[in-house]
Amino acid sequence: RAGVTLAASTLASSMILVDQTAVPLATPDILGDLGGATGEGQWILTANILPLAALMVLGGRLGDLLGLRRVFIAGAVIFALATVAAGAAQDMVMLIAARAVQGCGAALMMPMAIAITSAVYPEERRGWALGILAGASAFFAALGPVLGGLLTSIDWRLVFLINVPLAITTVVLTLRATPDFQPVAGRHPRIDYLGTVTFGLGIAALVLGLSQGQDDGWGAPDTLVPLGA
C-alpha cells in the first residue's frame, strides 16, 4: 500500500512538472488557434506558476489542519477540472483563467505529495522513497518538451487533456491505498492570514518581475515595480 501511495504522489508531482515543460511547445499553436497576441503567450505559463508559487505554503498548512489525503485529493480534482477547461478553451481569457486555477490545484498537491510519502514510509526507508519521488518527477519533467512537441503535432489541446486521466488515476490510487491522516488532536487550528497574504503577494511579485524582465528588459518599469514590491 505504501508503494501504491508513492506511485500516486509521484504521478501527481510528475504531472505538474510535465505540464509546465510541455505547454511552452504548444504556445505558438495556441496563439494561432485562439487568436492571441504574442504578449499573451507568456501568460499561458505565468498564470499557472504564480498561484503555484504563492499558495504552496498555504497548501501545506491546510494539509496540517484538514488532513493530508483530503487536501491532496482536493488539489487533484481542482487540477483535473481546470485541465478540462484549459483543453476546451475557446479564447485566451478562458485559457489563462483555467491555467491559474490549475496552479491553485497544483499548490495543494505538491506539498501533500512530499508529506504523504514521508508519513507512509518508516524513517529507515523515507530517504529512498523521497528520492524516488524527486528522481522520477525530474525524469518526466525532462520528457515534457518531447511529449509537448508530439502532442502539439496532433492537437495542442491534447497537451492539457492528457493530464485528465492521470489526475483521475492519482485520485483512485490515493483513495485505495493512502491512509486518511487526521490532524493531530488538541492542536489549535490556525492560519496566519497576514503572513499568507504577505508571502503570496511577495512571491507572486517576484515571479512576475522575473518573467517580465525576460521580455520587457530588466530596466523596464514593468520589471522593476514588481521586483521592488
3 pLDDT higher than 70: yes
Give the C-alpha distances (Å, rounded to integers) separating 65 from 9, 12, 197. Answer: 20, 21, 18
pLDDT digits (tens, 9 = 90+) for 158-178: 999 999 999 999 999 999 988
pLDDT digits (tens, 9 = 90+) for 34-59: 988 877 888 898 899 889 988 998 99
Is residue 81's pLDDT more than 90?
yes
DSSP string for 61-88: HHHHHH-HHHHHHHHHHHHHHHHHHHHT
Around Cβ 122, how many Cβ atoms within 10 Å?
8
pLDDT value of position 109: 94
pLDDT above 90 for 107: yes
154 contacts 31 by C-beta, under 8 angstroms? no
pLDDT at position 185? 64
Its sign, for the CA torsion 35, 205, 81, 134, is positive
Span 108-158, pLDDT tens digits: 999 999 999 999 999 899 999 999 999 988 898 888 889 888 999 999 999
Contact 40, 160 (CB under 8 A): no
What rounded mean pLDDT belongs to the chain?
Answer: 89
Distance CA 199, CA 177 (A): 34
CA–CA separation, 42 vs 115, rounded Å?
A: 31
Angle at 228 between CA 226 and CA 229, to 5 degrees: 60
pLDDT value, residue 193:
86
> With bands split at pLDDT 50, 70 and 90, how would you rate the model's confidence at 19?
confident
126: cell is 523515507
Whether the per-residue pLDDT at 83 is higher than 90: the answer is yes
For residue 190, give the 3-state DSSP assignment.
coil
Per-residue pLDDT at 187: 61
- pTM, two decimals, is 0.87
The predicted structure's pLDDT at residue 80? 95
Calculate the alpha carbon distances from 12 to 32, 203, 225 in Å.
30, 23, 34
DSSP H helices, the chain, are 2-34, 41-66, 68-87, 92-120, 123-154, 157-161, 163-177, 193-216, 221-228
pLDDT given at position 133: 92
Q: CA Rg, the chain, in Å?
A: 18
pLDDT tens-place string over residues 181-190:
877 666 666 7
